[in-house]
Amino acid sequence: MESNRTAHILRDLEEQLLSRDPAVRQRALEQLAGGLPAAPTPALDEGWVNLHYHTWYSYNPHGWSPPMIAWLARRRGLYAAGIVDFDVLDGVDEFLEAGRVLNLRTTAGIETRVFVEPFASREINSPGEPGVAYHVGIGFVRSAVSPEWEPFLRQLKETAQRRNRELVQRVNAYLTPVELDYERDVLPLTPAGNATERHICLAYARKAHQMFGGAASLEAFWSERLRCNAAELDLPEGVALQNRIRAVTMKAGGVGYVRPDSGSFPRLEDMNRFILAAGAIPLVTWLDGTSAGERALEELLDLHVRAGAAGVNIIPDRNYRPGVVDEKLRNLQQIVQVAVDRELFLVAGTEMNSPGNKFVDDFDSAELAPLLPHFVRGARIVYGHTVLERFAGLGYVSEWARRWFASARERNNFYETVGRLVPPAHAAQTVANLTSDLSPARVLDTLLAQRPGGCGG
């Protein structure tokens, strides 16, 4: 009976982490943390990392809030966890605070699409869209940006929402009588008005179910409009249906698709200026190495590094099948080796922005186990940057770092060491007295002297 009661309390508190009221989420998180040991306990996947979770502020298939993701990562024993939302920084403050409460290494970033002019005729990592690239900045330490850059951040979201509204108008014409009202049917699916194409797909699935109800008529509608056997699409709103809606109506070749041009997204260089101005770190965002742009790997990396990139964002789960040695696996191994040789730190994550995505990559697999140390090093670097930038202004791209580190290797080694030393629950106290007149060696000596016990290595 007692175990049933405990399980019920746990479920209730986890449901509160999904409340739209931030005060309710915070109270629930603190109660959950109160039942945890002071340090993460050993778990099957201790030492694993995922620094690329999308939250409900862009799209998460489970509707998870930032503290819910932090809580689940802590329960699973992850070494570090990070959020990366599309076009917004809305979850940064809450997620980093959740890291403190749960004694979990946490990081935060942003993802958007950019135009890469030198690759205007080559596909990079956005299939079917030459010159367009998904792009990530990591290591943001607050949701707000300086007044100078507020219009830029606001424009990212407004541009995406304008594209969505125009898309819905085109798709409505094709799917009629199943038509969406963007304000009423789509925006309520996300808490801060930052809907994505995946929200739109879910909204269409639900609208069709409301209109047709019966399985036979619903199946007939989708079979005709999606040009397939809808009986195989896990109706009424499963992942196969949503993916098919997206492919037929929204992606390249779809009825609602409009090919972007150089004015559709910010330029790579402008996006990186924004990331750097916020004290964060631009990354190279790599898909699978099969496109014309990613096959020109050295040229692509040179371009990104000139624009300020210091690391590489990878989604391993897309690039290997356990037990299968193929082109994508070889490409994954190549990008890891090239990044290591160039001292570009590595960031790994599963995104969690589509139904079926894993919570964390299987780093016990024969393919990924040899790569895990590189991803843990990257997580330490980004977390080390995060605490130093957040509490002392001594982050990876700060004027202090530029003054002291002559090479990427020196910089990466320093921030990795900081990431090992600073316990999340005590980061503010541990780092608060550091000042810009200290050398890196003095910083590390100070951290060693002030470090409380209880965070592991």
In the three-class reduction of DSSP (H, G, I as helix; E, B as strand; rest coil), residue 347 is classed as: strand
- Dihedral of alpha carbons 25, 28, 32, 38, sign: positive
The token duo for 24 is 């309710």
pLDDT at 356: 86
Tell me the pTM. 0.94
Q: What is the pLDDT along the chain (457 residues), one digit of tens a residue?
A: 457 777 888 899 999 999 999 999 999 999 999 987 655 543 333 589 999 999 999 999 999 999 999 999 999 999 999 999 999 999 999 999 999 999 999 999 999 999 999 999 999 999 999 999 999 999 999 999 999 999 999 999 999 999 999 999 999 999 999 999 999 999 999 999 999 999 999 999 999 999 997 789 999 999 999 999 999 998 999 999 999 999 999 988 888 888 887 678 999 999 999 999 999 999 999 999 999 999 999 999 999 999 999 999 999 988 888 888 999 999 999 999 999 999 999 999 999 998 889 999 999 999 999 999 999 999 999 999 999 999 999 999 999 999 999 999 999 999 999 999 999 999 999 998 899 999 999 999 999 988 655 444 5
HSE-CB at 437 with a 13 A cutoff on CA atoms is 1
Please check whether residue 104 is in contact with residue 71, taking contact to mean a CB–CB distance below 8 angstroms. no
Strands of the sheet containing 80-86, edge to edge, are 49-53, 80-86, 105-115, 132-138, 281-285, 311-314, 345-348
Q: What pLDDT is recorded for position 41?
A: 43
Q: Which residues pair with 109 in a beta bridge?
A: 84, 138
- The CA dihedral of 155, 157, 162, 163, to the nearest 10 degrees, is 110
Burial of 349 (0-12, 13-18, 19+ CB in 10 A): buried
- Secondary element (H or E) of residue 154: helix 150-175
Backbone angles phi, psi at 270, to 5 degrees: -70, -40
Alpha-carbon span 83 to 337, nearest angstrom: 25
Cβ contacts of residue 26 below 8 Å, gap of 6+?
67, 97
Go through 30-50 and write b for each residue having 16 or more CB atoms within 10 A of its CB, e for each that does not: eebbeebeeebeeeebebbbb
Place of tokens 């699935």: 205
Query: Is 303 within 8 Å of 118 (Cβ atoms)?
Result: yes
Nearest to 171 by CA among 199, 141, 204: 204
Q: How far apart are CA 159 and CA 114, in angstroms?
A: 12
Spell out the domain ranges in the chain: 1-35, 36-145+287-450, 153-249
- Condensed to tens digits (0 to 9), the pLDDT of residues 375-409 reads 999 999 999 999 999 999 999 999 999 999 999 99
Do residues 86 and 59 make contact, with C-beta atoms less than 8 angstroms apart? Answer: yes
Structure tokens at 233: 């699409």
Q: Specify burial of residue 142 (Cβ count, 10 A radius: 0-12, 13-18, 19+).
A: middle
